[in-house]
Structure 1
Amino acid sequence: MFLRTLATATALCVAGIAAQAADTLKAAVLEIGTVNWELDTIKHNGFDAANGFDLQVQGLAGSAAAKVAFQGGEADVIVSDWLWVARQRAAGHDYVFVPYSKAVGGIMVPGDSSAQSLADLKGGKIGIAGGPLDKSWLILRAYAAQEYGLDLAAETEQVFGAPPLIFKAGLKGEVDGAINFWHFMAKMDAAGMRRLISVADAAEALGLSPDTPLLGYVFRGEMLLDNPALVHGLAAASRAAKDLLATDDAAWERLRERMNVKSDAQFDALKAGFLEGIPDTGPVDEEAADAMLRLMAELGGSELLGEATRLPDGLFVQSGS
């Protein structure tokens, strides 16, 4: 009887451990990325446990390293843009996307610049965070061509570099305009630079929806199939963290040190930028996303999107899917 009881207890213990392991969610993200503000909020407030999983976050040196960890099975989820997911799905990889943020960058100019539009940068030097296929750069090129008949690539000098380098070049006045990610733009704004145009405004002028979330949590499709509660659990925890950050100043004060801000102005700008990027609740407009993908395929071709020429079916994890 004792042995039977011991065996039963052991089996239950093993089953409990297995269940706990199955409910662990390993996230690989850029160590200094803004997504850590949300993940930290999820963990600190127990939003992961409340939604049936244990979040474990691994900070890595770059987004490329996170993708390697994800593709190698060392991470369950990463953060990337859905256009990358579309490329992967078109190549046969069953990845799916849960919206995280619609925040996008734009182009900043020095506070004393006389430029009032992209047309005024003709003949100038533009710093671009990323490379020639940077999505913000492509959209701004299309916008300049449509609105002003201006070929930004041919009629300006471009300097490509990592976001921090472009940030510094902009502050030092080494470029006439700087295209950067939203959080660097927030810091530029706090330092006295001025937004010439955002990518969201340019995209809207091109007939695209500014409400399409660009960044999101990327899972393997098999996880959505085998353990949908885990995928939807992160989505629910993400929304709970966003709701808290949208309503509780104390939640931001707790994150201040992690945000590595140099001034109250930086703190306020970063907070405002994050909140502005919170996606709407409800399903993603797939027709709008398809329109964006088709434009990006036209601008960046297979070098940007591989074999993806339209929105692949099943890319977005919609409510109840």
Structure 2
Amino acid sequence: MTIQTAITAAVLALAATVATAQDGTIRAAVQESGTVNWELDTIKHYGFDTDNGFTLDVQGMAGGDAAQIAFQGGAVDIIVSDWIWVARQRAAGADFIFIPYSRAVGGMLVPADSPAQSLADMEGKTIGIAGGQLDKSWIILRAYAQQEYGIDLATQTEQVFGAPPLIMNAATTGEVDGAMNFWHFLAKMKAAGMRELISVDEAASALGLDPATPLLGYVMRGDMLRDHPELVAGMAKASAAAKAKLATDPAAWDRLRDRMNVEDDAQFTALQDGFNAGTPVPGAVNLEAADRMLKVMAELGGTELVGDVTALPDGLFYTPAE
């Protein structure tokens, strides 16, 4: 039995036993090692789920693909993904909605003693990238380098793609000249002494995009919003309550330390700061800014990234009632 077959079989078996959302339970499938678990753990521990009218059931998965299979198969009610994926699914006919969770992205890091002062100085250099050729942060930096310096990083640098831990190791040992990684690995890399050459926020602003646009979010189904709007609203409120707790109470972080996989206090502090900095701005997502970002993604990522999306789909972003 292949790994994919095993995953599919497990998901189908789970789907056969899952009750409906009418029992007030929201079933979440998330990668076991994902940073979203810090928030979900906080929700459960402090009772922010029951305070908001539901019970959160978190199911750890081996990876994001397995979570998506569980969600698309109806086995769970919620996953975490980026809104570009959700837009693509909506364009293909899926009735999914996106609740903003985090705008944490990152940037390009270089060794502290690197002579590079801008992306132009990376021409001819080797860049380590986690997330693959269609990584959204990589696409934004490519667009920025093209606009500001007239260079295409994809053709004028050498890229090494790999898993986040491998990219972190390659960057901190000098095997690559610069690196892009998932935000929590970037936080650890900064704690190890690397410096930021440019942030994705800075590049996005220069491109006329809104850095406040949240990239990651909770994904739920439109029928749950229609049939059980109180559950969707409750999840959004619980998420906000957990973020507020983590932003103001050091003890809330202390209880999470063991699951954060940190080696020292510097990493622990960097991860807290990075998580809190990624909290989305309250209120509705700026649709014009999101549409501009989608067009950048479509231009450089093509249909492989955005599928058949040509414009921001209506109803994509969930906005809590005031």
TM-score by length of 2: 0.92
- Residue 284 of structure 1: aligned partner: 285
Moved more, 84-93 or 123-132: 123-132
CA contact (8 A) 1:106 1:181 kept: no
- Residue 179 of structure 2: aligned partner: 178
Measure the CA separation in 1 of the matches of 2:309 and 2:317.
15
Measure the CA separation in 2 of the matches of 1:289 and 1:151.
23
Give the aligned residue type for 1:181.
F
Are residues 1:197 and 2:198 paired?
yes
SS at match of 1:29: strand
Measure the CA separation in 2 of the matches of 1:75 and 1:197.
38
CA contact (8 A) 1:138 1:296 kept: yes
How far residue 186 of structure 1 moved from its aligned partner, in angstroms, is 0.1
Q: Deviations over 1:193-216 (max 9, x none)?
A: 111111111111100000001100
Q: Which runs of 5+ in 1 are unaligned?
A: 1-17
Measure the CA separation in 2 of the matches of 1:191 and 1:61.
28
Are residues 1:268 and 2:269 paired?
yes
Give the aligned residue type for 1:292.
M
Once the two structures are superposed, the pairs formed by residues 207-246 of structure 1 within 5 Å of their partners are 207-246=208-247
Q: Deviations over 1:221-279 (max 9, x none)?
A: 11111101001100000000011111111111111111111000000000000010001
TM-score by length of 1: 0.92
- Residue 4 of structure 2: aligned partner: none
Select the structure of larger CA radius of gyration.
1
Measure the CA separation in 1 of the matches of 2:237 and 2:154.
42
Measure the CA separation in 2 of the matches of 1:320 and 1:20.
21
Moved more, 162-171 or 78-87: 162-171
- Residue 70 of structure 1: aligned partner: 71
Measure the CA separation in 1 of the matches of 2:148 and 2:235.
41
Are residues 1:300 and 2:301 paired?
yes
Once the two structures are superposed, the pairs formed by residues 85-104 of structure 1 within 5 Å of their partners are 85-104=86-105
Distance change >3 Å, CA 281–CA 290, structure 1 → 2: same
How far residue 22 of structure 1 moved from its aligned partner, in angstroms, is 2.2
Identity percentage over the alignment? Answer: 68
Distance change >3 Å, CA 19–CA 173, structure 1 → 2: closer
CA contact (8 A) 2:142 2:152 kept: yes
- Residue 29 of structure 2: aligned partner: 28
Q: Deviations over 1:60-116 (max 9, x none)?
A: 111111101111111100000001000000000000000000100211111111111
Measure the CA separation in 1 of the matches of 2:97 and 2:312.
12
- Residue 42 of structure 1: aligned partner: 43
- Residue 251 of structure 1: aligned partner: 252
Give the aligned residue type for 1:178.
A
Measure the CA separation in 2 of the matches of 1:230 and 1:291.
31
User: Aligned Cα RMSD in Å?
Assistant: 1.3
Measure the CA separation in 2 of the matches of 1:298 and 1:245.
37
Q: Deviations over 1:262-314 (max 9, x none)?
A: 00000000000001000111111111111111111111111110011211000
How far residue 19 of structure 1 moved from its aligned partner, in angstroms, is 9.3
How far residue 166 of structure 1 moved from its aligned partner, in angstroms, is 0.8
Measure the CA separation in 2 of the matches of 1:290 and 1:259.
34
- Residue 8 of structure 2: aligned partner: none
Give the aligned residue type for 1:207.
G
SS at match of 2:246: helix
SS at match of 1:160: strand
CA contact (8 A) 2:236 2:320 kept: no
